[in-house]
Chain A
Amino acid sequence: MIGFEYPEFTEEEIMAAIAATRFGYGLKPGEAVQIVADPKAWLTQQLQGQDIPPELQKLPNGPTQQRNAMKARAVGEGEKWAAEARQQALYEAAQHCLATLKSPRPFRERLVRFWTNHFTVSAATNPELAPLVAAFERDAIRPYVNGPFRLMLMAVIQHPAMLIFLKNDRSVGEHSPLGLVSRRELDTTMAQAILERFTLGRPGGGRKSDVIALANMLSGWSIGSLKSRNPGGFLYEPRYHAGNKKRFVERIFPEAGMMEAEAALDLLTHQPETGYHLAREMAKFFITDTPSDALVSDIVGGYADSGGHLGHMAVGMIKSSEAWLPEQQKIKTAEDLVFSAYHALDLRPETGRPLLQALQTLGQPPYHAPSEAGWPTEASYWIGRESILERLDWVSALAKNVDHEIPPLSYAFSVMGPLLSERTARQLAISSGPVETAALLLASPEFQRR
């Protein structure tokens, strides 16, 4: 192309593009103007506030869902309820997609997504769990993303979705009143998940004696029956609880009923290992599959200096110079791709259905993480499982929604800014029309990465 000169961008313009892409769901045309004045402040301001997006208001919380399920099963209508529950979950998933797309605080949305994935509950192996999984994010994650880790951890562990998913509701402590007279046994699934994934990050949960001790302390953390004072919600059941003192992480915990596990969880949030594990996970979610020590320690700093405050931890990441390297190291997950593509084309669906459909097509159905470890975010998972062609087919189908002429280069720069490579710009300049322009833009490496 003759006469094409790649424009020069200011430092702030580069940071604005990175802020929106790496920490949010990409830019809408013309949106960069609002960010460029102070990209870091644009991000930190999004942490404030506790509101639930309008699309997700007035939906039943976890205990209500669970109570309804128990009521239905009690009168032999469990199957009917399960069918309705699945449908309810589909509706909520679509609403959730719409809320994400329309959110004025995409960074906060992605933090919500990060923590939800950190504390994965999945309906993949139990479809009836889907509405509880949907409620889990609203009840136990959203209100806590800008608060102490301790509070989120407690809300997560006491949520019915988690108690069921990790089978703690059925766990009966060693030498507990019920354990002595029944054949029900201690279940260590939740204890292991806490030590391996939620807090310390020790492979397999670390020492077996610690796993068993924590499981015993958690025994009795269950879900209230219909006759209890909190039907469907968290209930401490002393009859399930293991008596005796416990030795855990080189400390002695005297017998203290429900307070044992509370103390143990609190202790875990203050372990340096926990800070490092969370920081590494956060760095891997937002910035790179292979985080440098410098990046991790910047994030740990935010966590440790604030006594385990998740908002400060996020700010620690934003303040790290390593977070702003120009290289786009992460491949977008299906979710990142779908929402950012809708933003880039400025598409405004009336319902969340097309978004939900896209996530299903591209292999990331909401509430159905493939394993207890949650959705992988590594490039190896998203690229190379026959997925590129599917992505390309999807973006070219989506591009068909562009029904008006767009000037290829100025449009591309308005949504990509300095991220647009010269190579892509030259290809766009010779595209055959608006649809091809849009498709190539969404297919480009700089759009598939963030």
Chain B
Amino acid sequence: MKKQLPITRRSFLSATAAGMAVTAFPFGNLSLAKVNRDARFILVLARGGMDGLALFPPHGDPDYRKIRGRLALPKEEDGGFLKLDRTFGLHPAASQLLPFWKRKEMAIVPAAANSYRGNAHREALLHLDSGLDAPSNPQSGWLNRAINAMGGEAVPAVSISDQLPLVLAGPDEKGLIQTVPAATSSLPGFYQRVALLYQDDPLLRTALAQEMGQQQNRQSGLTEDDQAADAGARPVSELSVMVRTAAKALRAQDGARIAVIETSGWDTHAAQGSLEGQLARRFSSLAGGLELLASEMRDDWDKTVVVVATEFGRTNSPNKDLGTDHGLASPMMVLGGAIKGGKTVGAWPGLVSRTSELSKALQPSEDIRAVFKSVLVSHMGVEAATVDKTVFPNSEKIKPLSGLL
């Protein structure tokens, strides 16, 4: 009998119903011959549901301005989005990504989603990380299974987060995966201690008190589910530190081949801003971090693929607080010297669908696993059959996304 290893990821796992049937995965049918040991894969997780329509505004969609409303960006000539192609633009705060597009090292999958159709972070994350259609109590993540399929310890991986993410968790996780806490975990009670320092400075004292209050309001406005989404991940403003930690591990002799970096700060229910604002600042951090990653990985960049994935997109239109709520599909970014970029891969479904109910959120044209499959098969050299059966069990119908690699 297989021993069930404990999952160290996130407290929410312990809350799932005990005694549910456990999916068992066959680990016997491995084919290691073709595995590409030089290839590097970096998965950047944007926890909380990133508004991909803000990062890649679909300016060519006839309903863009009408549907995005006050979140729509001005035209390029007015200092707004940077044009990528006839359909998509790039948020100017992320202008550091533009050279990737021009060098054909960035591709956009216009509307990708996992198989989850609800609006709870917890469930969406379980789908994204486990790679399963109905993950009730998953014992492993898809990337862990992929690593095992590639030969386990021969393909070391690092996780840049406070806890091991589910996507990497599973059998033999300890041997395979090295958890590197990014040198960024927050200092406990730091704001409160700073508030003591600001007592004699009315300007700073008032501003800090106000912002702490706002943050608290935002957090109390968040459901328990919203808060769980961010657990373990670090704010994207710290991405550059995490990237450097990851790159160090990836560059080392016999170092890691796979890295997972978790970022938070994407659950923008209120005042997300458009041209400027909190989300724009985060895009700037994201783009800067990815650019730094490419620069740190320059010697191996042509063997590197980076996927930025989020558990779901957000609603197409702003809510009453000028934020966006949990949606469905989202434009998804793939970067790297190894990809065929400078283009979109997959169909653009359009912002408006036939029924008004559906038009609230972007409808998916691709399963997010098609992207991962493409990376695993064409880049990492995992056998297609193994990917269909073991990494993403019972997923033969989802073909690797073609044209990406």
Contact = CB atoms under 8 A, between A and B. Distances in A.
Interface of A: 80, 83, 86-87, 90, 124-127, 331, 353-354, 356-357, 360-361, 363, 365, 379, 383-384, 386, 388-390, 392-394, 396-397, 400-401, 421, 423-424, 427, 435-436, 439-440, 443-445, 448-449
A396 B211 contact: no
A445 B102 contact: no
B180 interface: no
A384 B237 contact: no
Contacts, number: 109
Interface of B: 78-79, 82, 92-93, 95-96, 98-99, 102, 183-184, 186-187, 190-191, 193-194, 196-201, 203-204, 207-208, 210-212, 214-215, 235, 237-238, 240-241, 278, 281, 284-285, 288-289, 291-292, 295
Nearest to B238: A397
Overall SS of chain A's interface:
helix
Nearest to B188: A432
A124 B275 CA distance: 11
29 contacts: A83-B99, A83-B102, A86-B98, A86-B99, A90-B291, A125-B78, A331-B203, A353-B292, A357-B288, A357-B292, A360-B288, A379-B203, A383-B204, A388-B208, A389-B191, A392-B191, A392-B194, A393-B186, A396-B186, A396-B187, A397-B184, A397-B237, A400-B184, A421-B200, A427-B193, A436-B187, A440-B194, A443-B190, A445-B198
Given A386-B214, A388-B204, A388-B211, A435 B187 contact: yes
A423 B197 contact: yes
A440 B198 CA distance: 11
Q: Is the interface of B mostly helix, strand, loop or mixed?
A: helix
A356 B237 contact: no
Contact of B240 (A86, A357, A392): A357
A125 B98 CA distance: 16
Contacts of A439: 187, 190
Contacts of B215: 389
B150 to A, nearest CB: 32
Given A389-B211, A423-B199, A436-B193, 5 more contacts: A357-B285, A360-B284, A379-B203, A392-B191, A440-B194
A131 B194 CA distance: 40
Contact of B238 (A389, A393, A421): A393
B211 A356 contact: no
A393 B278 CA distance: 14
A365 B186 CA distance: 25
Contacts of B79: 124-126
Contacts of A80: 102
A440 B196 CA distance: 11
Contacts of B92: 127
A339 B377 CA distance: 46
Contacts of B207: 383-384, 388
B190 A361 contact: no
A361 B284 contact: yes
A423 B184 CA distance: 26
B378 to A, nearest CB: 27
Contacts of A424: 197
A396 B190 contact: yes
Contacts of B82: 127
Contacts of B102: 80, 83
A390 B240 contact: no
Contacts of B278: 386
B190 A384 contact: no
Contact of A423 (B200, B204, B208, B284): B200
Nearest to B275: A124
A442 to B, nearest CB: 10
